[in-house]
Structure 1
Amino acid sequence: MSDFDQMGIVVDWVDACRKGDLRTLLDLYADDAQVECTCNGAQSYRGRSELEAYWGPRLTAFSSAGFGLEEINPVPNGVDLEYSVAGSLRIHASFRFSAEGKIDRTLCEPARQNAHKGCVC
């Protein structure tokens, strides 16, 4: 069991996304953290500069389109989150953490979309 609040870190991540706060978002990640995204083909980003290049445009889109928290659940070794963009596109993100209480790895992928809205991936 970790001695830091994994759920709290993910809530802070959600808040940074909602506000479009890139600096705060990046500060939640370990220096050598990795983001693996399979939303538009499998891509991997590692380290602060690559994460900044990945998240910068997305945060701009989130803040203008709207970012919603759908589900957040503790899982063995981390936290799973489902969020929506523009009220319809749903994304599943799995977070894993370093011993220092930073996000070490994030895996994001399209979540099951609402049947009446369809998938906008």
Structure 2
Amino acid sequence: MSDFDQMGIVVDWVDACRKGDLATLLDLYADDAELECTCNHTRRYRGRSELETYWRSQLNAFSSAGFALEEITPVLHGVDLEYSLALSLHICVSFRFGPEGKIERMRCMPSWQDLHDACVC
């Protein structure tokens, strides 16, 4: 059992995305964190520099498309989240955390209902 609030970290992640706050968003990740995006093609980003490159472009898409939290669920080894963009495209995200309370692994994918649609992430 962790001694940090995993749900709280994910809520902070959502808030940083909504605000377009890149610095706060990056601070939620471990230095060697890995993000895997399987929305269009599987892409992996590792470490602060690659995450910064990824999120710099994605935050612009979030702010212009409209970002809405759909569901947040604690799971055995982390937190799962579903959000929508422009109230239509649904994205599922799995967060896994390290012992220091930082995001170590994150995986995003289109929701099963949107597998035929394009993804902006």
- Measured against the shorter chain, the TM-score band is over 0.9
- Cα offset for 1:86? 1.2
Deviation digits for residues 63-85 of structure 1 (CA, Å, limit 9, x no counterpart):
11110000000000100000011
- Cα offset for 1:113? 2.9
Tell me which stretches of 4 or more aligned residues in structure 1 moved more than 6 Å: none
Q: In structure 1, give the amino acid aligned to 2:87.
A: G
The answer for unaligned runs of 5 or more in structure 1 is none
Q: In structure 2, give the amino acid aligned to 1:96.
A: R
Q: Which runs of structure 2 are paired with 1:70-89 in the superposition (5 Å)?
A: 70-89=70-89
The alignment-based identity, stated in percent, is 72
Matched residue, 1:119 = 117
Q: CA RMSD in A?
A: 1.2
Q: Does 1:55 align with 2:55?
A: yes
Deviation digits for residues 43-71 of structure 1 (CA, Å, limit 9, x no counterpart):
10000000001111110110111100000
Q: In structure 1, give the amino acid aligned to 2:93.
A: A
Work out the CA distance in 2 between the residues paired with 1:120 and 1:53: 20
Scaled by the length of structure 1, what TM-score is found? Answer: 0.93
Work out the CA distance in 2 between the residues paired with 1:52 and 1:100: 20
Number of aligned positions between the proteins: 118
Q: In structure 1, give the amino acid aligned to 2:101.
A: G
Q: Does 1:108 align with 2:108?
A: yes
Q: Which runs of structure 2 are paired with 1:16-95 in the superposition (5 Å)?
A: 16-95=16-95
Q: Does 1:2 align with 2:7?
A: no
Scaled by the length of structure 2, what TM-score is found? Answer: 0.93
SS at match of 1:113: helix
